[in-house]
Amino acid sequence: MYDPVCLLKFGKQIQRQQLDIPEYAASFLNYKALKKLIKQLSATPTIAAQGGSSPLDTQAALRANKEVFFFRLEREIEKVNVFYLQKEAEFSLRLKTLLDKKRVIQARGAANSRSSASFATLVEGFQQFDNDLNKLQQFVEVNETAISKILKKWDKTSKSRTKEIYLQRAVELQPCFNRDVLRDLADRATTARLDLEAWAEGENIQYDAKPADRTIGQRVGTEDSDIDLQILQASAAGNIAAIREWIARLGSAPNAGERFTRIFLATISEAPDESLHMFLSSGLVDIHAEDDINERNCLHEATIYGKDSVLDYGLSHGVDLTRLDVYGRVPLHYACLRGRLAMVEKLLASGPNTIDMKDHDNFTPLIHSIVRHRIECVRLLLASNAGIDPQSEADHIPLNLACQHESMEVAAMLLERNAKLLPDAEGLFPQHLVARSSQKPDLLLLLRQHGADLNQRDKLYQWTPLFHAASEGRVECLRALLENGADPEALDEKGLTAMYYATWEGHLECMDLLWERSSYRRAERRTSRIGAVVPPHNQMNAMEITPEEPMAAEGDGIPDLSLPPPIIPLRRYGHNFLDNKTFIAINFEPGSKAIHFFNEARYPAARLTISSKTSDLIPRNLMLPIQEDSRSVYFQVENLSTFAVDFEIFPTFGSKVIAKSVALPDLFRAIESSSGTCCLPLFDPRLRSVGQIQFSFQVIKPYKGTPLEITQFATYWKATSALDDHSGLVTGSSLSGDYLRLTVQLTRDGIPVIYPSYFITYNNLDVSLCQLRFDVLANLGLATSLLDNNGRSSLDSDDIMQWRNRLSGSVIALRDVLLAMPAHINLNLHILYPTSSEDIGLGVYSNIDINTFADRILTEVFDDARRLKAAHDQSRSIAFSSFNVNICTALNWKQPNFPVLLCNDLGTLHGTQLGGQHGSGPTTSFKASFERATSIKEAARLAQMNNFMGLTCPSRILQMVPALTETLKQAGLVLVSDASTDDGGAQSQQAPGSTTAGWAMMPDGVNGIMKDNGILRFNETVDM
């Protein structure tokens, strides 16, 4: 299957990664240069091999080119490997130091000193180690992906097959791509931190099987550690007399200077100025000393904890204010981080050369101030001439960050100082960042006043700010852009408009605004490259829909003139269904909503493993935060009564559990739990609650009765132009001709009936039909029958429109309809089952769970199929549809014979449409009515993930955004245009009783159309 992610500007991804990990930037594989080299070699295949003459034939030229390319590639791999080995040695040494410190603290026996600075420093040291180790792991991952992609590009250009063998023989053997060392370091660090935290709280839990280091314990001794603790307590309490007494008693000891210096650095965080002054006046403290874990001196500690007296003393005694700590930060960084304005002034006066120093994250003091919204610090730094424009591509851009964090005041100050409007590593200008992230347009208008072009295209997708606002649903920014001359018809690099992305993402108000401003009302344009827009089922993201790259010429520079093989459509019959297993779907919200840690800093990078110890299911791994393409996990289980799901969270590349939870069988097996939501606590290995995990679920059980035998009852089929289940243009299907739509729901006692609305009127009261029993409906005269006393149909007609007129507005049992209706009339059974939003918004609630609901309807359909087969050897074509994705999923998994269409009503809210009549202005705003619709993106994702036959979309949407038609069709979905809520203005004038009444020409590209006469018409199939 074509996967646009593979073509998604990988060079930009590397560039962004280099910005995120600046200290690693120079050691990344030079993907851009290698890609350029391939292009050069394919264009001029005449580079001579070293020491040889110019090649005379094509094969010799290719050999020479291969040598040049692989020589460069091997040098790049060497560069990555050398850097990795250097960092690996550094991390091993750091971990050894941290473990030694841990043993020293534990050997002192001061388990009640959890709040002490030494313990906090060590825990922070382990957290910093985890952060840095994760950066190294990201570095390895990105470079491994880069090598694989550049080899794939070489193979594609040179028409060779070297990728797999080269990866196996030359890449995977390199130390940097062996995960064992990094995994071991991660596991040892996690184990040590858990052990340390357990010990500090007085719990005798041993996470590490290795025996403790006895020599350290004997060397330190508990008496000395108790004395240190007493001095720290006296200092924190401001007990000057006790401190003076300790200094007098211990001041003459050989290690007195080292001891009191260590205690002084540890007590800065919590001691009053009087205590600190006592230490400083003792003459025992080395004011220039640094902590050997976090490498901070007294100036760092003073700025972190706001101790002006220590800062003044340190500056007056010449303490180095350019000293970098373990994060690469100087004291000025911390003063800006904490917003300590007076300290910033003093540090700038004493060391103006620190104003533009960068830490390991490439953050200057100005950048820290902007990100933390320290406005006064920003003002002071700018007055002191802090740099506002980047010096290299790796630098962060202050103005862009201010726009990203929606800081109007900071942006105004930067613009007043003539900050340049520059693209960041993603290729986004400030106006793009504001349009994408800001709820209000003020900052956008400020940028415009300072020369920002509101039609500026970014360097990533050629999007203008209007595209970003439309895609993210920023209504006010979109309105301001349109009012200030932004072009609503601008096209991006794929030939698509902002309207396309607003529709794809389901942002109704943005669609409304764009339609108002658009110069056309009926979108008839078809771009030349739309055919390549194929969002696969695992990446339904509009920004990642990328057209196919043109094939390169042959390796010898001569294009391949041979014709491609003909595309032979592949027929697929039916779909996968449940025989005796139960289907369970677990769905997470993308991003950080699904899994929340109470202390985010403790878990810098992690992965979620979902497994079941009660079954033989293969565990599923999801990287955190959960991405759009991995937020649904599916299981098929044998025994629901014993099925439990284990959720375990590990460090990204480690194997030590840091948090876990479990969903017990009761959650899934209860009859009312066909679907629902659940929130579970996450516990660490010491059973402390450290977070929560939230998900929705659906349980689909096999059909309870006897399903139709595949050998006797044919399944539906569809043909596509691809060999993959989830993509390829649909070229034909078994759906053809006219289908009469019947809206089906269940009464309170589980009888399937047809009626087009949730509510039925009786004595001027609207009553929920699903709350009434069928016999009550019959007694009230609200239900009618199609059969006479002899069981024969009361309507003797083969005309579909006569049947449509007879059935409209009546409550009739589905069984009667199937018995009475001729077999040649095809049916579209449209299922009404209330969604959770309809339950709340309309007050509709079904007391029957989804599994029982679907089983009752299927029983009637199966019984009718068997009756027709036995009596007349006939069959009836039936297609299911619904707006409720859960009932669609249930119907699809319970049988393979009949197709399912998922309906979407975006822009059609209970009879109100976007854009009004053709050629007129919009009739209503999207805010006017209760919303049931999901985005087109979400509907397409669900249809692909659940193997539905296709989608039904409002005709008005497909007319306004014709590009959607090709997008959905090339995703392997049958597409039906729903014109059932359109007005009659565009319908052809036919006799009311005619089967062609209400039919205009079939819209271009769709497979079927649903009109307001209740007939679903499919194209006549073309089986190629």
Domains in the chain: how many in total?
A: 4
Residue 54 and residue 196 in one domain: yes
Between the two ends of the chain, the Cα-to-Cα distance in Å is 21
Lowest mean pLDDT among 154-158, 300-304, 905-909: 905-909
The verdict on 591 and 508 lying in the same domain is no
Tell me: pLDDT of 913 over 70. no
Q: Tell me the pLDDT band of 711, cut-offs 50, 70 and 90.
A: confident
Mean pLDDT of 949-964: 90
Pick 17 or 806 by higher pLDDT: 806
CATH code of the domain in which 958 resides: 3.20.20.190
Q: Is 815 among the domain residues?
A: yes
Q: Are residues 478 and 601 in the same domain?
A: no
* Amino acid at position 342, single letter: A
Q: What is the mean pLDDT of residues 23-52?
A: 71
> Quick one: pLDDT at residue 536?
40
Q: Residue 573's beta-bridge partner residues?
A: 717
Under DSSP, the state recorded for 436 is H
For residue 511, is it within any domain? yes
* 892 belongs to a structural domain: yes
Instruction: Please indicate, yes or no, if residue 541 is contained in any of the structural domains.
Output: no
Average pLDDT over residues 213-225: 41
pLDDT at 532 exceeding the cut of 60: no
Mean pLDDT of 381-398: 90
User: How many DSSP H helices and E strands does the chain contain?
Assistant: 35, 27
More confident residue, 963 or 42: 963
C-alpha–C-alpha distance, residues 480 and 524, integer Å: 27
Task: Name the least confident of 189-203, 407-421, 993-1007.
Answer: 993-1007
Do residue 659 and residue 771 come from a single domain?
no
> pLDDT grade, residue 620 (50/70/90)?
confident
Say which amino acid occupies 719: A
C-alpha distances in Å from residue 697, one per residue of 108, 204, 378, 677, 681:
50, 39, 48, 6, 17
Residue 64 has pLDDT above 90, yes or no: no
Which residue, among 851, 823, 828, 840, has the nearest Cα to 974 in the 3D structure?
Answer: 828
Please check whether residues 744 and 676 belong to one and the same domain. Answer: no
Structure tokens at 842: 């309309």
At residue 602, the pLDDT reads 67
**Which pLDDT belongs to residue 908?**
67
CATH number assigned to the domain comprising residue 421: 1.25.40.20
- Mean pLDDT over 166-191 rounds to 84
pLDDT at 1017: 92
Strand 912-913 and strand 950-954: pairing?
A: unpaired
Confidence of residue 1000 (pLDDT cuts 50, 70, 90): very low
Residue with tokens 């184990």: 191
pLDDT above 60 for 789: yes
DSSP line for 405-424: TT-HHHHHHHHHTT------
User: Is residue 602 helix, strand or coil?
Assistant: helix
Report which of 829, 821, 827 is spatially closest to residue 798, judged by C-alpha positions: 821
Runs of H (alpha helix) within 780-823: 800-807, 814-820
Average pLDDT rounded to a whole number, residues 275-286 = 92
The region of weakest confidence among 445-459, 658-672, 822-836 is 658-672
**814 vs 593, which has greater pLDDT?**
814
Residue 893 in domain: yes
Beta-sheet pairing, 950-954 with 900-903: parallel
Q: Which residue has the higher pLDDT, 248 or 730?
A: 248
Q: Is the pLDDT of residue 29 over 50?
A: yes
Q: Are 466 and 488 in contact (CB under 8 A)?
A: yes
Across the chain, mean pLDDT equals: 81
User: What is the pLDDT at residue 314?
Assistant: 95
pLDDT at 663 over 90: yes
- In terms of Cβ atoms closer than 10 Å to its own Cβ (0-12, 13-18, 19+), residue 698 is buried
**At residue 491, does pLDDT exceed 80?**
yes
Indicate whether 997 pLDDT > 70: no
Looking at the DSSP bridge assignments, the partners of residue 753 are: 745, 813
Q: Which of 486, 520, 554 is the last residue of a domain?
A: 520
Query: What's residue 921's pLDDT?
Result: 37
Indicate whether 945 and 801 sit together in one domain. yes
Do 585 and 697 form a contact (C-beta atoms < 8 A)?
yes
The per-residue pLDDT for range 892-902, each reduced to its tens digit, is: 999 999 999 99
Of 200, 221, 255, which residue sits at a domain end?
200
* 972, part of any domain: yes
Query: Residues 943, 973: contact at Cβ < 8 Å?
Result: yes
Most confident of 51-55, 494-498, 727-731: 494-498
748 and 695 co-located in one domain: no
334: in domain = no
Say if residues 924 and 912 touch (Cβ distance below 8 Å): yes
Number of neighbours of residue 184 by Cβ within 10 angstroms: 14
Label residue 92 exposed, middle or buried (CB < 10 Å: 0-12, 13-18, 19+).
Answer: middle
- Residue range of the domain that includes 695: 582-700
498-531 confidence digits (pLDDT tens):
999 999 999 989 998 998 887 544 444 444 333 3
Give 629-655 pLDDT, tens digit per residue: 788 888 888 888 888 999 999 887 778
Task: Find the mean pLDDT for residues 795-799.
Answer: 85
From residue 36, how far is each of 75, 142, 488, 748, 765 by CA, in Å? 16, 19, 35, 68, 73
The angle at the Cα of 270, spanning 268 to 272, to the nearest 5 degrees, equals: 80
Residues 909 and 778 in one domain: yes
What's the pLDDT at 1002? 61
Q: Which residue has the tokens 């209400």?
A: 998
CA atoms within 13 A on the CB side of 912: 16
Same domain, 695 and 756: no
Most confident of 60-74, 104-118, 562-576, 818-832: 818-832
Do 754 and 688 fall within a single domain?
Answer: no
Q: What is the CATH number of the domain that holds 679?
A: 2.60.40.150
The answer on 745 and 691 residing in a single domain is no
Q: What is residue 7's predicted lDDT score, i.e. its pLDDT?
A: 38
Lowest-confidence region among 110-119, 386-395, 762-771: 110-119
Domain boundary among 504, 520, 536: 520
Give domain status of residue 404, yes or no: no
pLDDT of residue 538: 41
Q: What is the pLDDT of residue 952?
A: 94
Question: Exposed (0-12), middle (13-18) or buried (19+): which is 891, by Cβ within 10 Å?
Answer: buried
Verify that 686 and 743 share a domain, yes or no.
no
Percent of the chain with pLDDT over 90: 37
